[in-house]
Structure 1
Amino acid sequence: MQRNNKYAGRLALVIALAALLVLSACGRNSAGTIVEGKVNVVTTFYPIYEFASAIGGDDANVINLLPTGVEPHDWTPRGQDIVNTSKAQLFFYNGAGLEGWVPDFLKGLDSDSEVKAVEVSQGVDLILTTEDDGHNHGAAEEDHDHEGEEHSEDEHAEESADAKHTDPHTWVSPKSALIMAGNIRDSLVEADPDHKAGYDERYEALAGKLTQLDTEFAEKLSPLTNKEIVVSHQAFGYLARDYGLSQHAIMGLSPDAEPRAQDMLNLAKLVKEEGIRYIFFEELVSDKLAKTLADEAGVETLVLNPVEGLTEQQAKDGDDYFSLMQKNLQNLLLALQ
């Protein structure tokens, strides 16, 4: 018991430091300018930007709101983002609870703006979970207003534990990314029918790459007998569902949803019991919790990237969704074999 208390105290300090590191990365602004004579598209974060750019080609001007090196969960837009979006023709956002700021953002656009907002995750079979993200992002529509009703603390705790939240990390699975790409293509064609042939051709090229990636994940992961992965935050639900894996997360749907010390102790026990050899972390948030858990369980760490954005180095190296997902596959194979 004394060892557990000592570990819990050390863990509390690590959790606080990790939260500060995440928040410190969220203050930078984005850049981009409207181009006359093209379809101007504003996207909320990297995967949507990459897919829209690939399909739009030279016929579209795509502006990404989220700066390089910034994690999207708690980022919020700035004044220039409202100006650009007001002048654009299309605004692509993921939806599924990822960008909680979108409703107020759209209300703040210029009154004469004709931009069309498109939730590109429409059509994806969304995952509901009782895991909170720490900010009530993704709370299910069926939550009700209980004003005027009296509840005990135990009842409130029970309601909170049972509340359903939508997992917003749709793009991490190539199967879902393919649906998102189709929504982007359809919206571009609707906004700019004169360039339909180009949008269709470039969509088919992108869809072919996503289909090939899907095939590789399915063929290489399905024969493995080990299916348990421990990750830094609960970003791999769609990947796990589509390729037969079981995800155990240190944090919730958001990478700054703080875990309890007891949860970390339970995870360390799971790692030892299941013979798990690696704890996965990601590059846009602090790796301190993953390394703390790995040290406690006597295992190593590896990167599993939720592809929420590029680091400065990845941008310089020319990495993209496909190169990062290929690295994910290789690291999964290393960890699970």
Structure 2
Amino acid sequence: MSVKPLTLIMIVISVIALAGCGDSGSKLVEGKTNIVTSIYPLYFLAKEIGGDQVNVVNMIPAGVEPHDWSPKSRDLDTAAKAQLFLYNGAGLEGWVDDFLEGLPKDSKLATSEISKGIPLIKGSEEEGHDHEGEADHADEAAHEDEAAHADEAAHGGEEGHHHDVDPHTWVSPNSMLIMARNVLDSFIQVDASHKADYEANYEKLANKLAALHDRFKTELAAAPHKDIVVSHQAFGYLARDYGLAQVSIMGLSPEAEPKAQDLLEISKFVKEHGVKYIFFEELVSDELAKTLAREADVDTLVLNPLEGLTPDQEKNGDDYLSLMEANLQNLLKALQ
């Protein structure tokens, strides 16, 4: 049976229209509470706590480093029609004020800063430790000042980044528990009719996060070494909460490249303190980490700051919990 020309034209128009639905505007779902998140960890929390009652749109695509990203007009259009926008805060999303000012006057979008309530790491405190159980880490105290000096030296020229605090709050399961509660409260504020569902989902997630926190605390406390050398200064909260000392090649923004002298100082630190691995991450170049590892004659391992998923991780169904479990195993391997 032949298809009439007019019918064929209508089919083509319909296909084009449906293809357009794959763009940002179609990410919103009528009949559900639409949530827009700025980064993957918030997307994870929103999906877990929201369950079937919400539709969650994460603004940053898989494989994109958040420090390099800024919203487009289509992102503003999507957010304007949603009910809730979750952002981390603590200086991570430098674009957020302008973004929110750009919303149309009739937008009913509620906003929530999810890092609120977490004691933030400022300035030189980025090398601070969790002093609970300090007696068990006498060797850590002995070289704390040296670790701080090495890290400070590596970031002496970072004036251009304008970071007053470390924004990577979610990298610690302990902080993630606080963030989960903030997401729950935000959901109840915009959709009180499903409060019981949100609370039930939150309890399940909080139990998993608490179990992960306990494992990090117990197993890292038993590790014989406490120094981690990382490519990107994203692990201050993890170091603080679990008694580690972070020394980083680059600063709070992974764009900052150290000087040759900085690399030599960190290499000296690695050799003097028996560091066996240099940690790198998937969303930024591993060139500096591998260069330092060759200089210090050590190996490299992944330590994921969970700023976003790679396309492969997304395809494999990895999430915050599975990737943090992988982080713990790599930390335990490196700290033996």
The question of a shared fold, defined as TM-score above 0.5 by the shorter chain, is answered with yes
Q: 1:25-60: per-residue Cα shift (whole Å, max 9, x none)?
A: xxxx97862112211110001010010011011111
Which whole-Å CA distance do the structure 2 matches of 1:181 and 1:115 have between them? 20
Runs of 4+ in 1 over 4 A off after TM superposition: 29-32, 157-161
Contact 1:57 1:202 in 2 (8 A): yes
SS of the aligned residue for 2:231 comes to: strand
In the alignment, which residue of structure 2 is the partner of 1:287? 286
What's the CA shift for 1:74?
A: 2.3
> What code does the residue aligned with 2:61 have?
P
In the alignment, which residue of structure 1 is the partner of 2:9? none
Which whole-Å CA distance do the structure 1 matches of 2:157 and 2:94 have between them? 24
Which whole-Å CA distance do the structure 2 matches of 1:35 and 1:126 have between them? 35
In the alignment, which residue of structure 1 is the partner of 2:120? 126
Q: 1:148-193: per-residue Cα shift (whole Å, max 9, x none)?
A: xxxxxxxxx99969x9711000000001001001000001011111
Which whole-Å CA distance do the structure 2 matches of 1:229 and 1:178 have between them? 23
Identity, % of aligned positions: 61
SS of the aligned residue for 1:210 comes to: helix
> What code does the residue aligned with 2:240 have?
R
Pick closer, same or farther for the CA change 1:160–1:283 going to 2, 3 Å.
Answer: closer
Pick closer, same or farther for the CA change 1:275–1:31 going to 2, 3 Å.
Answer: farther
In the alignment, which residue of structure 2 is the partner of 1:245? 244
> What code does the residue aligned with 2:39 have?
F
Which of residues 74, 82, 87 is equivalent to 2:76? Answer: 82
What's the CA shift for 1:130?
A: 4.6
Pick closer, same or farther for the CA change 1:332–1:35 going to 2, 3 Å.
Answer: same
Contact 2:158 2:256 in 1 (8 A): no
Contact 1:277 1:335 in 2 (8 A): yes
Contact 1:31 1:67 in 2 (8 A): no
Pick closer, same or farther for the CA change 1:30–1:321 going to 2, 3 Å.
Answer: farther
In the alignment, which residue of structure 1 is the partner of 2:295? 296
Pick closer, same or farther for the CA change 1:204–1:110 going to 2, 3 Å.
Answer: same
Pick closer, same or farther for the CA change 1:44–1:120 going to 2, 3 Å.
Answer: same
1:47-196, aligned counterparts within 5 Å? 47-130=41-124, 165-196=164-195
1:3-18, aligned counterparts within 5 Å? none
Contact 1:235 1:253 in 2 (8 A): yes
Q: 1:271-330: per-residue Cα shift (whole Å, max 9, x none)?
A: 111111100000011000000000000000000000111111111111100110000000
Which whole-Å CA distance do the structure 2 matches of 1:183 and 1:312 have between them? 28
What's the CA shift for 1:114?
A: 1.0
Alpha-carbon RMSD across the aligned residues, in angstroms, is 2.1
Pick closer, same or farther for the CA change 1:258–1:31 going to 2, 3 Å.
Answer: farther
Pick closer, same or farther for the CA change 1:289–1:35 going to 2, 3 Å.
Answer: same
Which whole-Å CA distance do the structure 2 matches of 1:260 and 1:206 have between them? 43
TM-score, normalised via structure 2 length: 0.81
In the alignment, which residue of structure 2 is the partner of 1:271? 270
What's the CA shift for 1:261?
A: 1.4
> What code does the residue aligned with 1:99 have?
E
State the structure with more CA Rg.
2
Contact 1:31 1:64 in 2 (8 A): no
Contact 1:131 1:252 in 2 (8 A): no
> What code does the residue aligned with 1:77 have?
P
Pick closer, same or farther for the CA change 1:301–1:91 going to 2, 3 Å.
Answer: same
SS of the aligned residue for 1:165 comes to: coil
Residue ranges of structure 1 left out of the alignment (5+ in a row): 1-28, 133-156
- Greater shift, 34-43 or 300-309, is seen at 34-43
Contact 1:130 1:165 in 2 (8 A): no
Q: Does 1:39 align with 2:67?
A: no
> What code does the residue aligned with 1:80 have?
R
SS of the aligned residue for 1:166 comes to: coil
Which whole-Å CA distance do the structure 1 matches of 2:99 and 2:280 have between them? 31
In the alignment, which residue of structure 1 is the partner of 2:231? 232
Q: Does 1:257 align with 2:226?
A: no
SS of the aligned residue for 2:307 comes to: coil
Q: Does 1:335 align with 2:329?
A: no
Count of residue pairs the alignment pairs up: 284
TM-score, normalised via structure 1 length: 0.81
Q: 1:221-272: per-residue Cα shift (whole Å, max 9, x none)?
A: 1022310010001000000000000000000001111211111110011011
> What code does the residue aligned with 1:36 have?
E
SS of the aligned residue for 2:229 comes to: strand
Contact 2:88 2:115 in 1 (8 A): yes
In the alignment, which residue of structure 2 is the partner of 1:306? 305
Which whole-Å CA distance do the structure 1 matches of 2:219 and 2:335 have between them? 11
